Amino acid sequence: METNQLYLYNSITGKKELFEPINNPYVGMYVCGPTVYGDAHLGHARPAITFDVLFRYLKHVGYKVRYVRNITDVGHLENDADSGEDKIAKKARLEQLEPMEIVQYYTDRYHANMQDLNVLSPSIEPKASGHIIEQIEFIERIIKNGYGYVENGSVYFDVLKYNEKHNYGILSGRNIDELINNTRTLEGQEEKKNSFDFALWKKAQPQHIMRWNSPWSVGFPGWHLECSAMGEKYLGEVFDIHGGGMDLKFPHHECEIAQSVAANNKHAVKHWVHNNLITINGQKMSKSLNNFITLDEVFSGKNALLNQAYSPMTVRFFILQAHYGGTLDFSNEALLAAEKAMARMCKAFDVIDKLVISNTSSIDFNSYKKRCYDALNDDLNTPILLAVLFDVVKSINLIKEGKETIDAVNLSVLKEIVSGFFNEILGLINQSSVSTKSNSIDTLMEVILELRKNAKTNKDYATADYIRNKLSEVNIKINDTKDGANWFIE
């Protein structure tokens, strides 16, 4: 699709911009992945799905995409920690486990959640702990260029110095003067020249279990460094897209920009894309606020905030029903609405193979297809795309009822729309058609429905209702239609 023009909102310019790869047809995309010290929650599903769709769409239109999503397994500090203690190390002590054991455990669980959500694996999933050498080398370059200083075994980034020639705050719209006035006084800041300087390398305290040798001290890399180092390693000094949650804009991504400019004298990222947050009761869902629902809990329904379990596909649909740039508020009502909406869509798609093919078509499915592309090309507008697909659903139903017609050519376009946009790009899976594929149960139900049909013919409604009610108790639902009865598992 050479004519396809994707416009993406660029956080750094604040405008929708035509996406043009630096090195067509190759596209490099880096997205901040999870910190693996706990189970993923609903909030983590949002960036994963957002950038999964972007990844899928870029591939769909013909680009060769290398998608790098990191695993953060070192270097992060507790929000409320007494004294800057590595998050993972702390949990390790509490649970009497090796840090890497925890990393492995939660990484596996994260992967399982992602698979449930039908999120494709990234091309490369690098771990911070596996790139200590690259990070040290990156720091050396920053120091050599005069933007880092060593103090007591730790290395800090000199923001003020950087800001003389460059613009610190370019992404988040902050300026240094405000940072000076507004930064709170915190403990453990004495080593830094300025409160807003950030660490590139941190000397390990005795309680830190995760530690590596470096030219400056035995310690661990700073919190923003891994993305700069790994992005450069796998995507080059300059690459196309960097994604992540809104909450990462400052300081994380701001610091990344500063690091890359300090090391290479150029901006590493052409296009910044930020997804918004999932809120609950209007507030950000996060670990620190302790108002989160893990994905496992959503899928099982085991959380006091949940009225029921919601399938991974319901969650995916729910997230896609909102534009990635806006907040999305969690509620049982909204999840339930998504579940029903998705079911209705799937049921319509199920009847496509049973549609009667006419000589002419009263509906032009190519125009739907165009609207699908238009929706995605306008800053990945998945809610609009879903609205178009609901128009398609309506058309399918009208054809089914004989009120509209479809010919063979349009039928193939219709199938293309479903497999292309619904399955391939949005990554949704029609589970109603998948779950009923069991030969023995099919045969069994055929027999039962036959017996019930006979009962109905004989006006033995007591027996007919008995069959229906009893099976309903085990979630096998029977519906009578004018073409006979059908059944499904609820």
Size of the site for RNA (CB under 7 A): 98
Contacts 24+ apart (CB under 8 A), 105-111: 106/36, 106/37, 106/38, 106/39, 107/36, 107/71, 107/73, 109/39, 109/40, 109/296, 110/34, 110/36, 110/40, 110/44, 110/71
- How far is residue 386's CA from residue 485's CA, in Å, rounded to a whole number? 30
Stated as kind and residue range, the H or E segment containing 318 is helix 312-320
Of the ranges 52-60, 136-144, 323-331, 419-427, which one interacts with RNA (CB under 7 A)?
Answer: 323-331
The smaller minimum CB distance to RNA, of residues 118 and 172, is found at: 172
The smaller minimum CB distance to RNA, of residues 437 and 482, is found at: 482
Question: Does residue 465 bind RNA (CB under 7 A)?
Answer: yes
Among positions 10, 428, 468, 476, the unique one binding RNA when judged by CB under 7 A: 468
Q: In what order do the strands lie in the sheet with 148-151?
A: 148-151, 154-157, 198-203, 219-221
- Of the candidates 329, 347, 134, which has an alpha carbon nearest to the alpha carbon of residue 227? 134
Which whole-number Å values give the CA distances from 270 to 3, 66, 133, 139, 182, in the listed order? Answer: 21, 15, 26, 22, 30
Q: Which amino acid is at 447?
A: V
- Of the candidates 163, 167, 161, which has an alpha carbon nearest to the alpha carbon of residue 146? 161
Question: Does residue 88 bind RNA (CB under 7 A)?
Answer: no
- Of the candidates 244, 258, 231, which has an alpha carbon nearest to the alpha carbon of residue 169? 258
- How far is residue 202's CA from residue 204's CA, in Å, rounded to a whole number? 6
Among positions 337, 352, 448, 489, the unique one binding RNA when judged by CB under 7 A: 337
Question: Does residue 78 bind RNA (CB under 7 A)?
Answer: yes
Among positions 182, 412, 433, 458, the unique one binding RNA when judged by CB under 7 A: 182
Question: Does residue 99 bind RNA (CB under 7 A)?
Answer: no
Residues 6 or more apart whose CB falls under 8 angstroms from that of 65 comprise 26, 27, 28, 29, 55, 58, 59, 123
Stated as kind and residue range, the H or E segment containing 375 is helix 365-377
- How far is residue 382's CA from residue 397's CA, in Å, rounded to a whole number? 22
Question: Does residue 381 bind RNA (CB under 7 A)?
Answer: yes
- Which two structure tokens, joined as six digits, stand for 2? 């050479």
Least distance (Å) between residue 23 CB and RNA: 25
Which residues inside 427-456 make contact with RNA, applying CB under 7 A? 456
Among positions 66, 90, 161, 284, the unique one binding RNA when judged by CB under 7 A: 284
Of the ranges 117-125, 185-193, 210-218, 264-272, which one interacts with RNA (CB under 7 A)?
Answer: 185-193
- How far is residue 269's CA from residue 30's CA, in Å, rounded to a whole number? 9
The smaller minimum CB distance to RNA, of residues 244 and 427, is found at: 244
The total number of residues written for the chain in this structure: 490
- How far is residue 53's CA from residue 375's CA, in Å, rounded to a whole number? 13
The smaller minimum CB distance to RNA, of residues 129 and 381, is found at: 381
Which residues inside 340-369 make contact with RNA, applying CB under 7 A? 340-341, 343-344, 347-348
Among positions 115, 183, 412, 438, the unique one binding RNA when judged by CB under 7 A: 183
- The single residue listed with the structure tokens 């054809």 is 399
Question: Does residue 387 bind RNA (CB under 7 A)?
Answer: yes
Which whole-number Å values give the CA distances from 265 to 238, 259, 366, in the listed order? Answer: 11, 9, 47
- How far is residue 362's CA from residue 407's CA, in Å, rounded to a whole number? 9
Least distance (Å) between residue 164 CB and RNA: 19
Least distance (Å) between residue 64 CB and RNA: 26
Question: Does residue 326 bind RNA (CB under 7 A)?
Answer: yes
- Of the candidates 434, 457, 445, which has an alpha carbon nearest to the alpha carbon of residue 486? 445
Of the ranges 250-258, 295-303, 414-422, 437-445, which one interacts with RNA (CB under 7 A)?
Answer: 250-258
Among positions 142, 464, 471, 476, the unique one binding RNA when judged by CB under 7 A: 464
Contact letters for RNA, residues 202-221 (x by CB under 7 A): x-------------------
Which residues inside 389-418 make contact with RNA, applying CB under 7 A? 390-391, 393-394, 397-398, 401
Question: Does residue 52 bind RNA (CB under 7 A)?
Answer: no
Among positions 51, 149, 198, 365, the unique one binding RNA when judged by CB under 7 A: 198
Least distance (Å) between residue 411 CB and RNA: 18
Question: Does residue 2 bind RNA (CB under 7 A)?
Answer: no
Least distance (Å) between residue 24 CB and RNA: 27
Among positions 64, 141, 174, 233, the unique one binding RNA when judged by CB under 7 A: 174
The smaller minimum CB distance to RNA, of residues 25 and 326, is found at: 326
Of the ranges 48-56, 229-237, 338-346, 417-425, which one interacts with RNA (CB under 7 A)?
Answer: 338-346
